[in-house]
Structure 1
Amino acid sequence: MTSPETKLFHNVPLSVLDLAPINEGSTAEQSFINSVSLAKHVEKMGFNRYWVAEHHNMPGIASSATSILIGHIAGATKKIRVGSGGVMLPNHAPLVIAEQFGTLESIYPGRIDLGLGRAPGSDQATAYALRRTLNSSAEQFPEQVEELQAYFTGNGPMGVKAFPGEGLEIPIWLLGSSGFSARLAAEKGLPFAFASHFSPEYTIPALRIYRENFKPSPFLAKPYAMVGVNIIAADTEEKAKWLATSQQQQFLSLTRGNPMRLQPPIDDIDKVWTPHERTAVEKTLDSKSTLIGDPVTVKQKLENFIHETNTDEVIINSQIFHHEDRLRSFEIVGQMMGK
């Protein structure tokens, strides 16, 4: 029996986090075609939102120009919310982000989310190439969020205005993989999204910080948390584990400091990594937040995840090489959740 506060399994909205993977042997063009296909697919099943994430200098991720891709996906869909999961605010002038998302909200009213992260989404050299300076840092993130919000309310510094942007009510989310953004989201009364899909051990502590310190705001009366999870579902357990080797290879390449395009599945992952590397990858892709299996297995694991985190919403990342298998994975999850 669950507590009264625990969310009912079928009442938890499902969303998608798309890293716009570029497959080995493929192109960014095909990645964007796949993203539109997936967005249309999950929209038909009733998924709540579709987010893309800013990364740079990553050969396997095509979503570096995040706001452009958001517009592309929003233009190809009709009602699903589309947004950033997230924009790495230290990489940008807040005014530019206000104008970009003001433009998106003006074209697709009531459908745009602005999720903000404080990490660079890149290495230091790439951060310098993006900003031309390293004077802007993650430590300035609270001030940058404050400035960004000011442009939407018409109170920008030195009288500067964001057109379009001023007066628009675009939901701002704070994203995090530790307690920092959890506390800031609580203080500002904003919704919070936690990256459990790559930072599983901090999930419960960060959610506790957020909920215990939340202050109601004009944006949000009570805490609202969305938690990221990796799901690789297939019709058989064996196939799901085989498909999962693509994501395992991706994190292995990051562990080695040599990011690669998304690799096809392989039959024996143990031939590729050392025992030490396997431990490192499995620590990141923890079994509680990386759900692999057939429909019955994944449903049970997802139920456990929702009950443990008491999350208000689940956002799903599925790094699957073959597009038809990726579509099928989301279809399985949608069906089990009554979508």
Structure 2
Amino acid sequence: MILKLLQDIPISVLDLAPIIEGGTAADSLHNTLDLARHAEQWGYHRYWLAEHHNMPGIASSATSLVIGHVASGTRTIRVGSGGIMLSNHAPLVIAEQFGTLESLYPGRIDLGLGRAPGSDQPASRALRRGLGSDGSEFPEQLSELRAYFDPTASSSRPPGVRAIPGEGLNVPIWLLGSSGFSAKLAGQLGLPFAFASHFAPDYLLPALHLYRSSFQPSEHLDKPHVMVGLGITAAETVEEARKLATSQQQQFLNIIRGRTGKLQPPVDSLDGLWSPQEKAILQDKLQYSISGDKATVHARLQQILADTDADEFIIASQIYDHQARLHSYKLAAEAIKGELVS
């Protein structure tokens, strides 16, 4: 096996379009485009947005629209979904939406797909989603979706139905996951695979092994291709980064407690805000979340690359202050590329 060099690994942005306490969705979407423009300048390869519903702290629920917003305001960076939750949608609608995006911004659109709802049960009902669904319908939905892009695969879509725009266009499809289901399916179909280790760290290495061991070459890939999701909070000092990271930690703490809300300002310490049990759960969840200065980020990324043999990294940074978030992504790029970025 040829050892990969950290500076050769493509890096991308996973933007949850955070709505901060005291801010609005409009502020969030403005900041999303600003971050995308900076990320393009700093050499980031992709800019992905995630579908979530019924969450006061996330502004990217209409994911395809936000992708268009970002693509229209940038020039070269690839823009896509990380991901679209296919169980929430008719495959034809997604084929048409991403066919439209690819027609408007040719060669720049990615379609990352997940099988989770990205919502709670009330939102699932509002999305007309069967509450008994366990994701088992995902392979069939995926097959139908892919057939809309491939004119030769008519047997996998309803007779006489075509996606216009969409048909005949090359929109790269990625499978996203936090367990083994999508890892195995991506391998069997010869598709690239992205793992959400920033919130499901315990399954990262088993899922990557399952993906690579089940991989079958396809017209899309001749060998496995893995993107690993990471949480990174970078600052000039370790102490500053650790404080900034408390916004993300408070967000995870609320998830543990079954709550939703806007992204909170950082605090000096979470002592008194969490119980010992919650602290242990949180620390386990954040195994692949890095906070520190540039040297700390570089060293931890080297270790993760050695452990995972990743082909790409995608970085999520839930930071309250927009300027601090921009600076974190800039420092992360410098830590990975080993040079200053302008």
TM-score category of the 2 structures, normalised to the smaller one: over 0.9
Matched, 1:302 2:301: yes
Paired position in structure 2 for 1:59 = 56
Q: How many angstroms does 1:284 deviate by?
A: 1.1
Paired position in structure 1 for 2:224 = 223
Work out the CA distance in 2 between the residues paired with 1:280 and 1:36.
Answer: 33
- One-letter amino acid of the counterpart of residue 232, structure 2: I
- One-letter amino acid of the counterpart of residue 256, structure 2: T
Work out the CA distance in 1 between the residues paired with 2:34 and 2:178.
Answer: 29
Paired position in structure 2 for 1:19 = 16
Q: How many angstroms does 1:311 deviate by?
A: 0.1
Paired position in structure 1 for 2:114 = 117
Paired position in structure 2 for 1:163 = 164
**Percent identity (aligned):** 59
**Contact 1:90–1:137 (CA under 8 A) maintained in structure 2:** no
Residue pairs, 1:91-110, within 5 angstroms: 91-110=88-107
Work out the CA distance in 1 between the residues paired with 2:315 and 2:281.
Answer: 22
Q: How many angstroms does 1:6 deviate by?
A: 2.8
Aligned pairs, how many? 334
Q: How many angstroms does 1:139 deviate by?
A: 0.8
Aligned residue for 1:113, secondary structure, equals: strand
Paired position in structure 2 for 1:236 = 237
Work out the CA distance in 2 between the residues paired with 1:337 and 1:304.
Answer: 12
Q: Which structure 1 residue ranges, 4+ long, deviate > 6 Å from structure 2?
A: none
Paired position in structure 1 for 2:79 = 82
| 1:66-124 Cα deviation digits (max 9, x unpaired) | 00000000000000000000000000000000000000000000000000000000112
Q: How many angstroms does 1:7 deviate by?
A: 1.6
**Contact 1:246–1:264 (CA under 8 A) maintained in structure 2:** yes
Paired position in structure 2 for 1:321 = 320
Aligned residue for 2:331, secondary structure, equals: helix
**Contact 2:297–2:335 (CA under 8 A) maintained in structure 1:** no
Moved more, 174-183 or 120-129: 120-129
Residue pairs, 1:1-339, within 5 angstroms: 4-131=1-128, 133-134=130-131, 137-154=134-151, 155=154, 156-286=157-287, 289-338=288-337
**Contact 2:234–2:241 (CA under 8 A) maintained in structure 1:** yes
Q: How many angstroms does 1:126 deviate by?
A: 1.1
Moved more, 78-87 or 249-258: 249-258
- One-letter amino acid of the counterpart of residue 263, structure 1: Q
Aligned residue for 2:255, secondary structure, equals: helix
Work out the CA distance in 2 between the residues paired with 1:239 and 1:137.
Answer: 42
- One-letter amino acid of the counterpart of residue 28, structure 2: S
| 1:11-49 Cα deviation digits (max 9, x unpaired) | 100000000000000000000111101100010011100
For normalisation by structure 1, the TM-score amounts to: 0.97
Work out the CA distance in 2 between the residues paired with 1:132 and 1:216.
Answer: 33
Work out the CA distance in 2 between the residues paired with 1:282 and 1:222.
Answer: 34
Q: How many angstroms does 1:8 deviate by?
A: 1.1
Work out the CA distance in 2 between the residues paired with 1:94 and 1:224.
Answer: 24
Aligned residue for 1:157, secondary structure, equals: coil
| 1:305-331 Cα deviation digits (max 9, x unpaired) | 111110000000000000010011111
What 5-or-longer segments of structure 2 have no aligned partner?
none
**Contact 1:53–1:85 (CA under 8 A) maintained in structure 2:** yes
* Change in CA separation of 1:30 and 1:79 when aligned onto 2, cut-off 3 Å: same
What 5-or-longer segments of structure 1 have no aligned partner?
none
* Change in CA separation of 1:151 and 1:137 when aligned onto 2, cut-off 3 Å: farther
CA RMSD of aligned residues (A): 1.1
Work out the CA distance in 2 between the residues paired with 1:135 and 1:282.
Answer: 32
For normalisation by structure 2, the TM-score amounts to: 0.96
| 1:200-254 Cα deviation digits (max 9, x unpaired) | 1110110011111100011111110000000000000110010010000001111
Aligned residue for 1:271, secondary structure, equals: coil
